[in-house]
């Protein structure tokens, strides 16, 4: 049971083999047993979970099942939920209770899902290792000395260790795909504008997007289908997005006629040799399934990290100015005056990575520097987008490694922000271009998972899902589970 996919659990629930309450109990027991070692959940209220499961069983009995009826789904601590705390793993939001549900949370509730606790993350989603969390680091189930990736590290670890069958994450520069890769699960970042950002605590508004973290490609489609769609409350949520059949896209079992682009800029010196081998082997498997591998070039990729680390901190510095000690969360004791309250509340509330981003962002936006940094970065962004458009004239999808390295040791990169930023080298470009991406397991290096990243044209999540589903059905990487969590065969 524990390592079942959402689809398998749905079949069992629909057949009456198990009730939502029984399912919730089983996962709650697992979370109680394993969370202390992993620190994947920062808030989990068993009573609340069971009450939702009871309500779901009652709904099923009265009206029949909705698409995610009774299925437990964990929520990254960045999504506002009316019930329980929403703290973005920051001291500045310690004890904050949101007055409303994020749009995607409403969507999950409407689909019958059982919200299963809040997961650990880098503070304000700024990080690639989950080490900047105010609640302490989360550990990788495959090796507890290692990070699970970030920023959605708690969601990734919880799903990888089957403390919950699926979770929601957010991805601004890779925060769904990189932790999915480093923990051996599937993670999908939809096209920018596909999913509403309302009620998701803003990091970089032109990049942030929510998506599923799951044990299979079909599970990602099930959640994608539930959370996607227009929301008049988010002006960047697209009203006339092309219709798509999420589940039918996963029926693909071969790759006949599929042209897969292999960008030379994503197979670079300095990346882990084992990662390269695993991804090369995955592409060979795709060829066997009928795909044609086409060498392509995305020349402006080399500027993606630099452009991102101007744009994302700039937007973050504006978004985070709302935390002033007045309206949300932490306020310092006995301020001398208003300015003292602002500065001390912020100083005490934000961690050092968040402060670094605010300083960098304010610098890049300040008069005299705006054109040299922010404007230039936006111009580079256009070039990066154009690279992808050119590539998609020749190929249907693009395949790359998700991360140049497998999970690294806790503490290994914390003193060196630049090295940490380079962890996102393969995931960032598509956020800048607004494109959808998916990471799925495709190998192992020294017992640690390796991820294969798929990139598709805007609004073609069906291409991602189809390619990934075909690969998944032909290989067994998605069925591998970490030792010590009761899933050994």
Q: How far apart are CA 86 and CA 82, in angstroms?
A: 9
Please state, in angstroms and rounded to a whole number, the distance separating the CA atoms of residues 360 and 365: 9
Annotated catalytic residue 478: no
From the list 128, 155, 175, 314, the catalytic residue is: 175
Taking the complex as a whole, how short is the minimal distance between the CB of residue 171 and ligand GLN, in angstroms? 5
- The residue of the chain with the least Cβ separation from ligand GLN equals 175
Q: Any catalytic annotation for residue 216?
A: no
> How many residues bind ligand GLN, per CB under 6 A?
13
Residue 2 or 417: the one with the smaller Cβ distance to ligand GLN is 417
The three-class DSSP label of residue 38 is: helix
Q: Is 127 in the site for ligand GLN (CB under 6 A)?
A: yes
Instruction: Please report the DSSP string for 190-228 in residue order.
Output: PPTTSB--TTBPPS-TTT--EEEEESSHHHHHHHHHHHB
Name every residue whose Cβ is closer than 8 Å to that of residue 300 and which is 6 or more positions away in sequence.
380, 383, 384, 386, 387
By CB under 6 A, residue 153 contacts ligand GLN: no
- Scanning 11-19, 23-31, 173-181, 286-294 for contacts with ligand GLN by CB under 6 A, the matching segment is 173-181
DSSP SS3 for 400: strand
Would you mind telling me the total number of residues written for the chain in this entry?
489
Regarding 151 and contact with ligand GLN (CB under 6 A), the answer is: yes
Instruction: Decide if residue 224 touches ligand GLN (CB under 6 A).
Output: no
Task: Please confirm, yes or no, whether 367 is among the known catalytic residues.
Answer: no
- Residue 249's Cα: distance from chain center in Å? 21
Residue 173 makes contact with ligand GLN by CB under 6 A: yes
Q: What is the largest CA-CA distance in the chain?
A: 70
175 binds ligand GLN (CB under 6 A): yes
Could you please report the per-residue DSSP string of 121-170?
-SGGG--SSSTT-TT----BTTBTTB---SSSHHHHHHHHTTSSSEEEEE
Pairing of strands 397-401, 448-455: antiparallel
- Specify the residue, 240 or 415, whose C-beta has the smaller distance to ligand GLN: 415
How crowded is residue 54: how many other Cβ atoms within 10 Å of its Cβ?
A: 15
Of 69, 315, 424, 472, which lies in the binding site for ligand GLN, with binding defined by CB under 6 A?
A: 424
Stretch that binds ligand GLN, among 165-173, 269-277, 325-333, 460-468 (CB under 6 A): 165-173
Q: Which of 312, 377, 405, 481 binds ligand GLN (CB under 6 A)?
A: 312
Binding piece for ligand GLN, criterion CB under 6 A, among 126-134, 220-228, 297-305, 411-419: 126-134
Catalytic positions: 76, 151, 175
What are the residues binding ligand GLN (CB under 6 A)? Answer: 125-128, 151, 171-175, 203, 312, 424
């Amino acid at each position: 049971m524990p390592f079942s996919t959402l689809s398998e659990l749905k079949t069992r629930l629909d057949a009456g083999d198990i009730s939502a309450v029984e399912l919730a109990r089983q996962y709650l027991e697992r979370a109680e047993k394993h969370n202390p070692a992993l620190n994947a959940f920062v808030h989990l209220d068993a009573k609340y979970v069971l009450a939702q499961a009871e309500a779901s069983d009652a709904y099923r009995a009265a009206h029949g099942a909705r698409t995610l009826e009774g299925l437990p789904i964990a929520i990254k601590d960045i999504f506002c939920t009316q019930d329980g705390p929403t703290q973005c793993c920051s001291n500045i939001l310690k004890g904050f209770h949101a007055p409303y549900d994020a749009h995607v949370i409403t969507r999950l509730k409407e689909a019958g899902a059982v919200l299963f606790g809040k997961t650990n993350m880098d503070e304000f989603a700024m990080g690639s290792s989950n080490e900047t969390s105010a609640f302490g680091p989360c550990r990788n189930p495959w090796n507890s000395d290692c990070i699970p990736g970030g920023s959605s590290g708690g969601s990734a670890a919880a799903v990888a260790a089957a403390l919950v069958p699926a979770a929601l994450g957010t991805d601004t520069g890779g925060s769904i795909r990189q932790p999915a890769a480093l923990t051996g699960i599937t993670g999908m970042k939809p096209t920018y504008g596909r999913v509403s950002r309302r009620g998701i605590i803003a990091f970089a508004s032109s990049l942030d997007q929510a998506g599923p973290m799951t044990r299979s490609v079909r599970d990602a489609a099930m959640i994608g289908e539930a959370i996607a769609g227009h929301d008049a409350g988010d002006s960047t949520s697209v009203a006339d997005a092309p219709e798509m059949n999420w589940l039918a896209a996963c029926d693909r079992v071969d790759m006949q006629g599929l042209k897969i682009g292999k960008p030379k800029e994503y197979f670079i010196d300095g990346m882990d040799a084992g990662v390269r081998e695993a991804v090369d082997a995955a592409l060979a498997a795709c060829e066997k399934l009928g795909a044609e591998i086409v060498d392509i070039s995305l020349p402006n990729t080399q500027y993606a990290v630099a452009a991102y680390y101007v744009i994302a901190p700039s937007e973050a510095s504006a978004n985070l100015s709302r935390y002033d000690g007045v309206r949300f969360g932490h306020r310092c004791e006995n301020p001398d005056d208003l300015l003292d309250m602002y500065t001390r509340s912020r100083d005490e509330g934000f961690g050092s990575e968040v402060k670094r981003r605010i300083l960098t962002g304010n610098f890049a936006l300040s008069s005299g520097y705006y054109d040299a940094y922010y404007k230039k970065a936006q111009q580079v962004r256009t070039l990066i987008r154009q690279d992808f458009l050119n590539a998609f004239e020749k190929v249907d999808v693009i395949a790359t490694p998700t991360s140049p390295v497998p999970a690294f040791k806790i503490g290994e990169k914390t003193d060196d922000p630049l090295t940490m930023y380079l962890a996102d080298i393969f995931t960032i470009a598509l956020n800048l271009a607004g494109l959808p991406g998916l990471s799925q397991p495709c190998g192992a290096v020294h017992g640690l998972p390796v991820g294969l990243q798929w990139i598709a044209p805007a609004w073609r999540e069906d291409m991602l899902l189809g390619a990934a589903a075909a690969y998944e059905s032909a290989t067994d990487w998605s069925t591998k589970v970490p030792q010590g969590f009761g899933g050994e065969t």
